Amino acid sequence: MTDSLDQIFVFVKHWLLDQLANVLPPAIMPLVSSVMSLLPVLVVFPSLFALTTVFERKGLGRIQNRYGPNRVGPFGFLQFAADGIKAIIKEDVVPRAADKVVHFIAPVILVITALTVYAVLPFGRNMVAADFDAGLLFFFAVGAASELAVFMAGWSSRNKYALLGAMRAVAQMVSYEIPLILSSVAVVMITGTLSLPKIVAAQSTHAGLLPDWFVFTPWGFAGFILFLIAANAELNRSPFDLPEGESEIIAGYFIEYSGFKFALFFLAEYLSMFALSGLGITLFLGGWNAPFAALEFIPSWAWFFIKLLTMIFMFIWTRGTLPRLRQDQLMNLAWKFMIPMVLVNLVAAAVWHFTGPGITRWFTSGALVLGAYMLLGKPQFESKDIGKRTYRFAD
Amino acid sequence: MLGEGIIKGMAETARNFLGSYVSAERLTTVQYPEERSVQIENARQFPFLVFDGDDPMKGLRCVACQICEKECPPKCIYIVKSKDKRADYKGQMQLYPTTFNIDLSVCMSCGICVEVCPFESIKMNTEFELSTTDRFGGLLVNKHQLAKSNDHYRKIHPTDASSSDAALAVEVAKAQAKAKADVEAKAKAAAEAKAKAVAATPVAPQPVAAT
């Protein structure tokens, strides 16, 4: 029973494929199979985007001690419908000086890249659209193309703010791509595979009370935190929302977009957020595995979505808490702190791997990570006492 | 330790997040159409014209002096003077406005018209729900829409209204005193003239006699 519930989507797909095989020519069956794998992704994640916008606005509201949207539908949960209709019926303004073709395809490319990465994410047991060996590499390769789309949007708008935003975005995304990838490399070193389902399988066992998720190791914990920070920066979300920076450059690279294209930028941003959260879950939080053996009656795909919602909540929570960084602070954090940290983390992962099981590897690996954290963080981010502020003219 | 501040901040926002579900006094916002916050007494939106008595058009204090029209920074007031005169609150004969329009889409609620008005006749209202589907005609209000009773003014701005009433009472008292003084002066002058006439009568024939 639990097994059939766990595999229900797989069974449904195979049953449908069997039915269609009687009707359709065998030559197009692989195409039909991939369409049927992708269709749920195209339905579920945009719907999740719609819900997340409401959750985010309500969550941010609660963080700021207000209600958030509560007018449309029950408790305001239909707000996304109102927003969507508004975005569709708004006039689509294209600046006269804009490069119209590039201006048009930039949001399309952004959404396509954001959607393509879902192909390799395992949403549950046997539930991955394209299970190939270089899945992680594919994820990062496609994800990096979003930088191109962002710069296309900024450049083609022929607007100072858009260009500034795009340049900030590219500088930020290129800088944070390195810690993002290097923090995942530690997982690849341990598991010895780039295939995401195999990485999940490597975390499916239980050691005592805790599951064998990589987040419960010193290098995995540090890697997960670094991954979260880098993912936050990669997504241009607060506190790394300099490319958008409402108070400085209004909306950054999508300032000249209106109506549905503007909505597409938001869709792409949230889709990338879900995808990177999914990747974080897959790499560090045991993918679709249940935390305890006793909880395995809950289907694997449900576990994936529970973890995904938790990650989304984390993203909303950080957005509601932290103020925006300055450009130099952003770059300092990436190049002087995050990249040395991930490099040390790689060594810590190697130490963990080669010091056999036991308490020793906890200490050596943990000491490495913690020592690097103290040494790198202390001199750079220590608040300096600059004394009492004196005023020359105001007194 | 590095990151301590972030954790503190996250704890604070988490406290707000959960606390706003538990204690209603944390919520600072007012759910506007259903509940309203009480306006402070000095709240001001757009001007209105004060009238005394029952008939808005007869009791209008405005004497169409056009000071507010001239002083208005965005020039949102338009006044046409009357040809005839009528008695104002202290019985003086004054002009009155045949047209008094304010374009609320232009008005910037500065209150300068109120400050310059020597007749206590234009005051700021607190009405703010003025949305309309007609953004030209709907926001151009005439003197019939602008006229509000002095009771309304006393209700929305009690302190200002009492000082305004006191100022007007002083004016009325002054006017009455002046009228009384005039009457007395007139009576005195008449008496003097009479006395003079009486005194002069016996003397009058003299020049005649002299000639």
ipTM: 0.76
Structure tokens at B30: 């007012």
**Is beta strand B97-103 parallel, antiparallel or unpaired with respect to B140-141?**
antiparallel
For A177, the 3-state DSSP assignment is helix
| Closest CA in chain A for residue B6 | A322
For B48, the 3-state DSSP assignment is strand
Q: How far apart are CA A153 and CA A99, in angstroms?
A: 10
Q: Which of A34-38, A188-192, A314-318 has the lowest mean pLDDT?
A: A34-38
Q: Is A52 exposed, middle or buried (0-12, 13-18, 19+ CB in 10 A)?
A: buried
Q: Is B1 exposed, middle or buried (0-12, 13-18, 19+ CB in 10 A)?
A: exposed
pLDDT the model gives residue A342: 92
| Closest CA in chain B for residue A382 | B2
A71 close to B (CB below 8 A): no
Contacts of B6 in chain A (CB under 8 A): 321-322
Using an 8 Å Cβ cutoff, are A285 and A25 in contact?
Answer: no
Asked whether residue B33 carries a pLDDT value surpassing 70, the answer given is yes
Band (A313; pLDDT cuts 50, 70, 90): very high
Structure tokens at A336: 């002087």
Q: How far apart are CA A118 and CA A236, in angstroms?
A: 19
Query: Left, alpha or beta for B50 (phi > 0: left; psi -120 to 50: alpha)?
Result: beta
First to last CA, chain B: 124
| Closest CA in chain A for residue B1 | A378
Neighbours of A378 (CB within 10 A): 11
Band (A74; pLDDT cuts 50, 70, 90): confident
B14 close to A (CB below 8 A): yes
B26 close to A (CB below 8 A): yes
pLDDT the model gives residue A309: 92
Asked whether residue A172 carries a pLDDT value surpassing 60, the answer given is yes
B133 close to A (CB below 8 A): no
Percent of chain A at pLDDT exceeding 90: 15
| Closest CA in chain A for residue B29 | A66
A381 close to B (CB below 8 A): yes
Contacts of B20 in chain A (CB under 8 A): 62, 65-66
Band (B189; pLDDT cuts 50, 70, 90): confident
pLDDT per residue as tens digits for the range A96-116: 888 889 999 999 999 999 888
CB contact under 8 A, B10 and A381: no
pLDDT the model gives residue A395: 65
Interface test with A, best of B13, B20, B28, B31 (most A CBs within 10 A): B13
| Closest CA in chain A for residue B15 | A63
Using an 8 Å Cβ cutoff, are A53 and A61 in contact?
Answer: no
In degrees and rounded to multiples of 5, residue B87 shows phi and psi of: -75, 135
Angle at A88 between CA A82 and CA A94, to 5 degrees: 135
- Tell whether the torsion through CA atoms of A276, A282, A288 and A294 is positive or negative: negative
CB contact under 8 A, A65 and B27: yes
B11 close to A (CB below 8 A): no
pLDDT the model gives residue A2: 59
pLDDT per residue as tens digits for the range B68-112: 999 999 999 999 988 888 877 777 788 888 899 999 889 999 989
Q: Count interface pairs A-B at CB distance under 8 A.
A: 46
| Closest CA in chain A for residue B21 | A62
Band (B206; pLDDT cuts 50, 70, 90): low
A322 close to B (CB below 8 A): yes
pLDDT the model gives residue B207: 53
Q: Which CATH architecture has domain B47-155?
A: 2-Layer Sandwich (3.30)
CB contact under 8 A, B2 and A67: no
Of A70, A317, A378, which is closest to B10 when you measure between CB atoms?
A: A317
Kindly list the distances between the CA atom of residue A325 and the CA atoms of A308, A331, A335, B191, in Å, as whole numbers in the listed order: 26, 10, 15, 92
Number of separate domains in chain A:
1
pLDDT per residue as tens digits for the range A210-238: 788 888 888 889 999 999 999 999 888 88
Beginning with the edge strand found earlier in the chain, give each strand of the sheet holding B122-124 in spatial order: B122-124, B47-51, B147-149
Contacts of B24 in chain A (CB under 8 A): none
pLDDT per residue as tens digits for the range B101-137: 999 889 999 989 999 988 888 999 888 888 889 888 8
A67 close to B (CB below 8 A): yes
Asked whether residue B204 carries a pLDDT value surpassing 60, the answer given is no
The CA radius of gyration of chain A, in Å to the nearest whole number, is: 23
pLDDT the model gives residue A312: 92
Tell me how close the Cα of A375 comes to any Cα of chain B, in angstroms: 10
Band (A302; pLDDT cuts 50, 70, 90): confident
Using an 8 Å Cβ cutoff, are B62 and B121 in contact?
Answer: yes
Length in residues, chain B: 211
For B124, the 3-state DSSP assignment is strand
pLDDT (average), residues A71-86: 86
Contacts of B31 in chain A (CB under 8 A): 67, 70
pLDDT per residue as tens digits for the range A112-171: 998 888 888 888 888 887 888 888 999 999 888 888 888 898 899 888 888 888 988 888
Tell me how close the Cα of B17 comes to any Cα of chain A, in angstroms: 4
For B89, the 3-state DSSP assignment is coil
Neighbours of A57 (CB within 10 A): 17
Of B17, B26, B31, which is closest to A59 when you measure between CB atoms?
A: B17
Picking from A287, A319, A276, A113, the residue whose alpha carbon sits closest to that of residue A181 is A276
Q: How far apart are CA B131 and CA B139, in angstroms?
A: 8
Contacts of B26 in chain A (CB under 8 A): 65
In degrees and rounded to multiples of 5, residue B101 shows phi and psi of: -115, 140
Q: How far apart are CA B57 and CA B51, in angstroms?
A: 8
Of A63, A65, A377, which is closest to B2 when you measure between CB atoms?
A: A377
Asked whether residue B211 carries a pLDDT value surpassing 70, the answer given is no
Q: Write out the residue range of the structural domain in which residue A332 sits.
A: 43-378
- Tell whether the torsion through CA atoms of A327, A332, A337 and A339 is positive or negative: positive
Tell me how close the Cα of B32 comes to any Cα of chain A, in angstroms: 11
Q: Is residue A31 part of a domain?
A: no
Instruction: Taking each helix axis as running N to C, give the angle between helix A218-234 and helix A160-191, from 0 to 180 degrees, rounded to the nearest 10.
Output: 160
For A226, the 3-state DSSP assignment is helix
Structure tokens at B157: 């701005």
Of A62, A378, A382, which is closest to B20 when you measure between CB atoms?
A: A62
What ranges do the domains of chain B cover? 47-155
Asked whether residue A319 carries a pLDDT value surpassing 60, the answer given is yes
CB contact under 8 A, A62 and B29: no
